[in-house]
Each structure stands twice: as C-alpha cells, then as structure tokens.
Structure 1
Amino acid sequence: MRNDGIKGWGRNAAVAPSPRLIESLRSGLRILAPVLAAGLLMIALFGTGERTLHRLTGAIDQIVDRNLAGSVKLADINTRVQSVNARFNRLLAVKSAGRQGVDVDAELAAITAQVDNLASDLQSYRDVYATPAQRVRLDEILRKLADYKSAVAWVGSMLGIDFASTVSFIEPFGEVFNRVQVELTSIVTETSKDAQGQAVEATRQAEKTIRTFLYSAVAVMLGIALLAWLIGRYQQHLRISSEMLRQQVEARTAELRQANDDLAASADVLRQLGDAGLALTASLDLAEVHEALYRHLCGLIPMDAFGVVRLSGDGRDIVFEHFVLNGRALPAFSRSTRGATEPAARAMKLLTEVVTVGDDASIWMADVVGWADGARIRAAVWRPLVVSGNVLGLITVQSHDGDAYGPRTLEILRSACAYAAIAIANARSYRDLEATLSELRAAQDKLVQQEKMASLGRLVAGVAHEINTPLGVVLTAAGSLYGGVTDLRDAIAGGRLTRAALEQGIAEWADLATVVERNAVRTAALVKSFSAVAVDQVDSRPLETDLSVLLCDVVTLFRPALDRAAIRLDFVVADALVVRTIGESLTDALTRVMANTIDHAFASGQGGHVILSATAASDGGAVITIVDNGAGIPADALPHVCDPFFTTARGNGHPGLGLHVAFNQVTQRLNGSLVVESTQGQGTQVTLRIPSLDS
C-alpha cells in the first residue's frame, strides 16, 4: 500500500505542473506576445509598403501612358494639319498651272471635311488631355481653324473670279497657318516635358515612401523590443506588488471581517439599548421601570446581582429599594452612608463610577446576604444616576466572574444607566405630581365649597337686606293701622267717636294700606327675582330663554350692591331676544362676572359706570358684553384672570374662582366663549358669546 501511494503521488505530480512552472510559462507568453505582435505589425507594414509601391508604379505608368497618348494624338493632329495645308496649297498650284481637269469644289469640300475632323479631334484632346493653361491656347487654335475653314470657303468661291487676288490672300494666311503649327508643336513639346516631370516626381515619391517604410519598420522593431523589456520589468514589479497587495488584502479582509463582526454585535447591542430605552420611558410606574431595567440588562451584560439605590429622606442611609440576587428578589434594605468602605456612598458622594473586584466585592455581598451566597461575587460596578445635576441614586451590577466588566461592558452599562436615570426621574416626578395633584384637588374642593358658602352668605345677606326694608315698612304701617283700629274701637266703646275723627281715621288707614300694598308688591318682586337667580341646577336642559327678562332679573339682584357702591348701570338689550340655552348656567356666569366687576373694577367709594348689553348673533345665538370704566387689569395678570385660584385680592377673602367658574359655565355647558379684554387704567370688557343649543 505504501508503494501504491508513492506511485499515485508521482502520477499526480507529473500531471499537475508546479505553480512556479506555470508562472514561468505565463511570463514567457507575456514577453513573446509583444514580439509576435511586432512581427505581425512588420508584415502588415511591408504588405502596406508593397501595395503602396504598386499603386505608385501604376500611377507612373498611367501618367506615362496618358502623356504618351496625348502626345501621339497631338502629333497626329499636327501632321494632319500639315496635310490639309499641303492639299490646299497643291490645289492652288494646280489651279495656277491652268489645269482644267481638277474638280475644285470637290477638293474644297474634302479640305473642309478634314478641317472639321481636325477641329473635332482637337476639341477631344482639349477635353481629355490638356491642362487649364493649354486649354486657352487650344481654344485659340480652334478659332484659327474655324477662320481657316472660312478662308478655304472664300478662296474656293474666288478662284474662278479673281485668281490673282486669291493668291495674294493665301500668302499671309499661310503664315497664320504656320503659327498654328508652331503652337501645336510647342504644346506637344510641353506635354512631353510635363509627362517626364510627373514621372520623375512619382519616382521620387516612391523612393521616399520606401525609405519611410524602412525607417518606420526599424523604429517599430526597436520600440517593440524596448516595450517587451519594459513589460518584462513591469511584470516582475507587478508580480512582487501583487503578492504584497494580496497579503495586505488578506490582512485587511481579516480586519474588516472582525470589524463587521464587532459592528454587528454593536448594532445588536444598540438595538437592545434602544428597546430598553423605549421600555423604560414607556412607563411612569417606578416598580415597572425597575423590572424593565433588570430584564434588559440581563440580556446585555453578565449580571448575577442587580440593585437600584436611593438616598433616604434625611440623607443618612442608602436604601436598596430593588435588589435581585441570582434571579431572586430580596426585601428592601438600607446601608449607612457613614461606612468608609461603603462603595455606594463613595459613588454617590464623588459622583463617579466605582468598580470593586475580588475580595472587596465578596466582602460587601457577604455582609449583605451572608458568606454562602456573597462569597461567589467577584466583581461589582456602582454607577450614579444623575439628571440635570441632580443625583437620583445609583445602579449596581455584580457578577461571579472577576473579569466580567471590561471597557465595552461598562460603556453598555453607562448607556443603559442614562436611559434609566431619565425613566426613574420621570416616574418619581409623576409620583410626586400625583401626590401634589391630589392635594391641589382637595384644596380646590375646599375653596370651591368656601366660595359657595361665601356666595350663599352674600346672597342671603343681600336678600335679607332687600326684603328687610319693605318688610319693615309693612310692619310699621301694620302697627300704625292696628293702633288706629284700637283707638277707633275704644272711641266707639266710650261713645267718643265723631264723624270728623272717623273720616280722619279712614284716610290714615287708607294711606297705611297703600303703603302696605306697595311694599308687599316690592317684596314679592324681589322674591321672584331671587327665585329666577336660584333656579334648580338639576333641570339643565336647553330652553327658550328671553334674555331681556333674564338680564333684568340679574340687574335687579345687583341693584342694591350697585347703589351702595355708587355705580351707575346702563342696561341695553333688545326686546324679545330669545336664545335656546341653559338659563341657570348663563345666570350663574353673569352673576359671577357682575360680582367680579363690582368687587375689583372700582375702589371703595369711587363710583363708576357699567354698561350691560345684549345683541343677536348671526348664528342664532347672542353676544353679551359687560363694559366698565374702572381700574382695568395689569398686562401680566390679564392672561391668568380665568385660571383657577388666581386673584389680586386674596387678602379681602376672594379665592379666585369667580371668573374661572364663569368661564367653565360658558365654555363647557353653554358651548360658547368668554373673552376678557382690558387696558390698565382704561377699564375692562367681558364678552360672552352664547350659541343656540339643540335639545
């Protein structure tokens, strides 16, 4: 089996080449690749040069062929011109010799046809072969050939008429014809020279192109060789850098992986801290806050004991109002702040975090619960709870592990304690607020009762005062009437009654009866007004209420008080101003506003002016205003005049509930509004908007 294993390993080694060999092959391919590319580029360059030379050679051949063809064609035209000229001269010579067998017209027609052919060929040459400069000269030659043709026709017509004049004309025309031949010969010569020059230039360009391709090929080869060397050096450097970078990436990846793990753990801790903060601040019950804090800390940090501590009222003891050891809640206990080794006292006195480890933690816990359970505690943290500079107490967490509370765990504890401090402060404030609110409610009930009794006393006193006056008059008049009747009876019994005495007595008795009747009617009216004001509060259904009657009753009620204070009241209300409302609540509100005006608007004995008015509102309700020209209300007190227990005359027995009760009656029972507007020194206006209520 050992030999088989060796053979198998050998086969695997032969099949799988080593990484170094693979890397060497890759490096060789990286170097050969530019060389192969250079070779292919050189082949492409030489192929391009060869094609360019072929094109240049073809161009040269084309130039030569074109110029040669043009020269031949032009030389042919020149020869044919000479032939035409010679034929015409021969015709003239035959005619001058007097030969009669020559058909002059036929010869002239043939000459004219040759001239037309020459002109046509010359135009073809001009359009195909001539240069721009030559075209101008050829146009002039064509014009001269046209003139020659015309001259031939004229000569033919003149030969039979005046041969001598015709002959004299031919001589100068021949000179012109000679110049045409000279011009054609010159064009032929120039065309040949131009063709030679173009051929020479094309040859020179071909040689230059060959040299350029050769130089480019050499430069490309040198550049490729340099590039291959640089690529090799760069690949070597890149290989080294890649290896270093790979190592750095591996190290950085490991760091990032660890950082991601730490971040995930931190995110989970932050989530748990957020949940803890929500749970702590969601309740205002102190016991629930303690339980929530203990429950969430158990999932965040190692903890075998947990406690919430506060100072006692006198500051002499530290009270452990919530303490849990090994999952078991212990009864509340206290420790003295005078103990030098008490860690809770040190933490609260110095406002700093105290960490005890080892025997110090064990001794403290053993002193609390005994050595059986306490000796196992090896680490403890005492963290003060501070909110806005106020020390609320502290939190302690303790563990069996001496290394349980490292920097990260302490940071988690500090964050949790910050949430806990706010939650405990809110819970304690709520508890204190509930106690204060209960006291305030009791005081409010007491003051409301006092205000009711005081109002009842003032009402009874006002009623007694108002009724006493007419009742006193009635009693006095009744006594006088009784005395007169007694005197009459005695006079009748004694026989002393006279007619005059009887008439006088009857007149006096009639006056006394009138006085009794008038004062009895006044007393009945007062009792009726008092009954309207003191409507039974049980019947609070909305009813059709005539405000002119209700306000008149209120004015009647306060008329004595207004007279005593020398206050003039103007009462303005429309007749039959009916609003569906709760009459007793509106009467109560108006009574309190009027009483407040009489008590506070005017100084004692000063007097003043009050206007009470009521108008209809657009929504079917009414607007009632009480305006006075009294002292007004200070600007700082105006926003609080409807607050409960707010008064500026508490020393005079006013508890500060008058306008508050009126405001509540109008806004809560009548669904209206009560607005107080005032400027100090310029009086006050109270506006009541009373809507029409449904049944």
Structure 2
Amino acid sequence: MERIRVGLRILAPVLGAGLLMVALFGTGERTLHRLTGAIDQIVDRNLAGSVKLSDINTRVQSVNARFNRLLAVKSAGRQAVDVDAELAAITAQVNSLASDLQSYRDIYATPAQRPRLDEILRNLSDYKSAVAWVGSMLGIDFASTVSFIEPFGEVFNRVQAELTGIVAETGKDAQLQAEEATRQAESTIRTFLYSAVAVMLGIALLAWLIGRYQQRLRISSEMLRQQVEERTAELRKANDGLAASAETLRQLGDAGLALTATLDLAQVHEALYHHLSGLIPMDAFGIAQLSGDGRDIVFEHFVLNGHVLPTFSRSTQGAAEPAVRAMRLAAEVVTLGDDVAAWMAGVAGPVEGGRIRSAVWRPLVVSGQVLGLITAQSEDVDAYGPQTLEILRSACAYAAIAIANARSYRDLEATLSELRATQDKLVQQEKMASLGRLVAGVAHEINTPLGVVLTAAGSLYGGVTDLRDAIASGRLTRAALEQGINEWADLATVVERNAVRTAALVKSFSAVAVDQVDGRVLETDLSVLLSDVVTLFRPALDREAIHLDFVVTDAPVVQTVGESLTDALTRILANTIDHAFGASPGGRVTLSATAAGNGGAVITVADNGVGIPADALSHVCDPFFTTARGNGHPGLGLHVAFNQVTQRLKGTLIVESVEGNGTCVTLRIPSLKG
C-alpha cells in the first residue's frame, strides 16, 4: 500500500503536470489558430478590398480616357462617330463605377475612409451630369463645351490620387494589423513558454514536448510572416501597375489633344515624336508618305539618336522593304536583328553608338485610306512587346487624324492661293478688255469725220492746183472759175461740218473722265429739276409716241450739284428713248423721286420696253459699250451718267433689267451738305 501511495505521490504531480501541460497545449494551440485565422481574415479582407478598389481606379481612368478620345475625335471633324452612343456608354460606365464604389464603402471601408469615398461618389455624380450636358451642347458650341469640361480633368486627378491613397493606406493598415497579430502571437507563445517552464521544471519529457511545440509555433509564425510579406508585395506591385497604366492613359490623352490642336504638318510631326519618345523605347523615329507618282516612299521626318536626318525616299519596287509591305498590306510590320540593321545602314550608313535591333512599321489609315506610315526603332531586340505596340497603335490613330487634317488644310491653302491668282488674272483681263473697247470706240468715232475732212481737203488741194495750172496756161474761163468756187465752197462746208463733229466728239470723250473740281453744292428742289428735264425731253417723247409718268412724293429737297444731276438724268432718258423700245412705237416711262434718310433722295427711271440681255447687263455702264453703234451711238451715255452720279454726286447708280420685261435705273443721291 505504501508503495502504491508513494507511486501515487510521484504520479500525482506528474499527472497534474501532464494535465496542465495538456490544458496549456490545447489553450495555446487554440489561441494560435485563432490568431492565425484572424490574421488570414485581416489580410484576405484588406487584399480583396484593395484589389476591388484598384480595379475601380483603373476603370475610372478608362472612362476619362474614353471621354477625352471622344473629344479629340470630335475636334478632328469625324462625322462617323456616334456621339450619343459614346456618351450613353460613358454614362453607363460611370453608374457602374458609382455602384461598385458604394458596395466597397459598405463592405470594406473603415470609418475614416467613408467620408473620402462619399466625396469621390459626389465627384462621379457631378461628372455624369457634365457628360449629359456635353451630350446636349457638343454639336452646338464645341469650343465652349471643351473649355467647360477641362476642369473635370483636375477632378479625375484628385479622384485617382484619393483612390491610390486609400489603396496604399489599406495595404499599410493590413500590414500593421498583421504585425500586431504577430506580436500578440509571440506574446502568447512567451506566456505559454514561461508557464510551461514553471510547471514542467525538471520534467524532461514535458520539456521535450514544449520544445517541439515551440518549434511548431516558430515555423507557423515564420510562414505567417512570409505570407504577409508576399501578399503585401503583390498588393504593392498591383498598385504600381495601376499607377503606370493611369499615367500611360494620361499621356496618350495629352498626345491626342496636342496632335489635333494644330493644322501645321511640321508641328504635328514634332508633337508626335515628343509624346511617343516618352511612352515607348525609341532610338529612331520616322514619318513617311507615298510620293505623287507612287514610285517612292518619302520620309519627311526622321530622327536618329536625337538628330534630324534630311528628307530621303525608298523605292516601292523593293519587295523586301518593310515600309513597302506595311503600306501595301495596310498592316503592322515588326522586323528584328540583321534586317533592321541593314535597312538603317542603307539609310544613314554606319550608326554611331548602339546598333538598331528592332523596328515596328505602322501604317496611318483614315477611312480606309493609307496616308503614310510611322516607324519606331530601338537598340533593344525586345523593345516592342504587346503592351508597347498597343500604345503605338493608339498614338497612330490620333496621328492619322491629325496628319489628314493638316494635309487637307495645306491643300486648301494651295487651292485658295490659286483661286486668288486666277481672280487677279481675270480682273486684269477685264481691265484690258475695257481699255480695248475704249480705244476701239475712240478710233471708230473719230476716224469717220477725219476721213471725210482728209478727202475734202484732198479735193480742195486738187481744185486749187487745177486753177493755178489753168491761170498759168491762160485756159481759165469765167464758167470754170465759178464752177470751181462752188465746188470749193461745198468742200469747205463738208470740212467745217466734220471738223465741228470731231470737236463735239472730243468734247464728249472728255466727259468720260468727270472733272474732279467740286461743283457748287446747292439746295435743289427735285420736283423743279425733274420737271425741267421732262420739259426738255417732251418733243422727243411726243415724236416717239412715248408716254411719261412723272411722280414726285414728299417734295424732296437735296443738297447736291444740280448741273451734274441734270446731266446724268438727261443721258439716262436719252438712252431710254434710243434703246428701250427698239423699232416698236409707243411705250411707257415712269420718272419718280422720293425722299430718303439723312437728307438724300432716290430717283428711278423705269420703262416697259424690250429690256437688256443678261450678257450685256453687266457692261451697260462701260465706256463705249453700245448695241447700236451702226446707228451713230458711241456708247458713252450711261457711262458718263454713272461717273457723274458715283464720282461727282457720291451716290450709286444701279441698272436692273430682265429681257422682255423692261428696265429700271435707280439713282441714290446723298446729301452733300458739309
């Protein structure tokens, strides 16, 4: 029994220690599992929230880039874009972003993050309203619409910065919470170890078990720490990738705006090179177009290692030429290694520095038409991967539109210059034609009386010679002398009459250039002046059986040069009597006058005659233009009247006529009161 009692005394502490060890082991293991689960839940929750928020941030940038691209395409004048559909799609994307951001706020956001997320939601709501406003105003006032939407770029920068900051804070918070949980775990382990050492002091078996358990805890803690570090690194890498994508989208948007903001082709080339060099690896860059005859590809702009090369061309006959393949197939061509080096050597000779090892050739296509191509080349053989090529394609889409606009503007300028030159040539031809008609009219009108005078003078000279010979020979008789005197008197009368006619023609020609010395400006009652003109023409009107209606309203009195106005009206009425009714007797003429503003007057001379042909109407006021030159009309009447009205009276004279429906001459006479 004693042996049993001793054994029980020995076993009791051992059993107690074992039970306590078991309890401590179970409690420690449960605590470790609980802490491990808590850490996993914290990391998983924060990682899921960060990934979701990062996705929302990327979609925000995609919406902004899509809207900027719509504005750039709209500024280029492309009518094929369905603006309403694009705006509806953008609005739908904004609604989806707002819904997902609200879900993130309710599930993952901390109390400190929620006010910031509410502000972002309000910015998205304002942006959706701005999109709706742009949809209503884009086709009305594009410039004001663009200036209105520009502040929203800053809004999106703030939204991106806020979202990126929340993502970074979430990751940092997850790391801090995991470190705190690790510290708690280590504290629990230390507490457990101290208790186990105190209880199991001297018990080797329990010490061994404690050692094993401690080893397990350390392994688990290290694994947990590694998992936290790995997930934190993954989150940081994801954030860096999102930031890089957002920056690329922003730079592409800036490139699109810069390219479509100018119509100068050289500036388009420079802007494209400047923006692409910051987006993709590029040691050489070129822009080319097809020559006019289609035989060569002309590189208008080529930069190698920062140096601009002179313009050069490549024949389209070379089947292996990558530029030829790209333009013929209207497809992207990528070349590597020796092919690129050989092409560059043929263009620029031995290249200083590194060797070009990769190149991409991208055609510029607008509405199915290949305008040219862009090549980007690098010393890195792996420079142009899928992501880089996608960036180049987007930039080329902007560049194609900008280059098409610039070339169209250049062609329009050339066409406009040609039209101006043609216009100047036509004006000069018209002046020469008027001068020719003037010279021909003067020659025709003066040659006839001068010819008669010369003939009569020749006859007089011959008669006088015959008389002198008859006197010298003694053959002169009284009858011959009387006959000679009568013939000489007739010839003298012919000479005098034609000389007077020539003098009258010269005086009439001098009236073509109106005397620039100002006449006397007097207060002229048009009812009296027009009555005197009608009285002057009454015999001619009666002779031609022409009825004249004389209408004066408002008793207009004008400060003007009465003599010049009388001369102009006299010539207009004479022209009407001579030409308005042709060979047909009768007709009706209406002479009217009415007061106009500022002390002026309007005078009209209208008839119901045969009218003026359309091809002659524009020349009726030209000097020496007449349709009845064979009837002795020199063609100066309306021209002199036009000069008197426009130069001396400072008014206007307009002739309106439809062939077969009469003619109306309108004089607008201003007041010449100083």
TM range (shorter): 0.3 to 0.5
The TM-score, its normalising length taken from structure 2, stands at 0.45
The TM-score, its normalising length taken from structure 1, stands at 0.44
